[in-house]
Structure 1
C-alpha cells in the first residue's frame, strides 16, 4: 500500500494528489503497488469542478426563471420568449440532474476519483 496526498474540496469531494512514499510490497523503482493510502489530507478552499458546474447551471436556471416571471407580469406579448426560456429551463434541469447523479456516484465511491 503506497502513500499519496489527498486533496479535499469544501464540498466534501476529493481527489488523489502526489505520490509520497512506497510501501514494502513494491520493489520496482518508480512503480506503486496499486493500493493507495492517504499520507496527508490537503484542504482545497474551493468546490470540485463538478460542483462548480452544477452551481453555474443553477445560476443560469435562476436567471431564466426570473426572466419568465418578469415577462409573465408584463403580459401575453412575450409568449414565444417565455416558451423558449421554458425549454432552456427544462434542458438545464436535465443537465443539473445528470451532474447531481454523477456527484452522488462519486461520493458513494462508485466512480473513479482522481
Structure 2
C-alpha cells in the first residue's frame, strides 16, 4: 500500500535578492493545496525562485545617502575649523547639528535593517 504524500501548506512567491544580500518578497507564483479560493492565499510564504537584483535595497541606499551627507558635513567642519573658526562659527555649529541628526538617522535605519534580519520569516536563515 502506498502512503500519500502530504500536501504543502504554503503558497509560493518570488524572492528578490539584492546586491547587499537583503531581500524582499516578489510576485505570487503558485497556490498551495490548503487554499482553494480564487485570489486568496493561505498566508504562509515559501520561495518559488530567487531572482538576483544588481542594485542595493532601498534601506541601504538611504543609509549610504545619509552617510555621504554626514561625511560632507564632517569635511566642511574640519576645513572651517582649521581655516578660521571665528569666521565660520555659525556654519560650524550648523554642521555639528546636522552631523548629530544624521548620525541618529543612520543609527535608526541600521537598527531597523538589523531587526528585519532577525525577523522570523527571513529566507536567509534557511
TM tier, smaller: over 0.9
Distance 1:93 1:79 in 2: 21
2:38 counterpart residue number: 29
Q: Give me the TM-score of the superposition, normalised by structure 2.
A: 0.84
Alpha carbon RMSD of aligned pairs, Å?
1.5
1:8 counterpart residue number: 17
Contact 1:105 1:111 in 2 (8 A): no
Unaligned runs of 5+ in 1: none
1:99 counterpart residue number: 109
1:80 to 71, 90, 107: 90
**Offset of residue 111 of structure 1:** 8.8
Q: Which has the higher relative contact order, 1 or 2, with Cα contacts under 8 A spaced 6 or more apart?
A: 1
Given the alignment of the two structures, is residue 49 of structure 1 paired with residue 55 of structure 2, yes or no? no
Query: Which protein is bigger by CA-based radius of gyration?
Result: 2
Q: Give me the TM-score of the superposition, normalised by structure 1.
A: 0.92
SS at match of 1:32: coil
Runs (4 or more) in structure 1 with deviation over 6 Å come to none
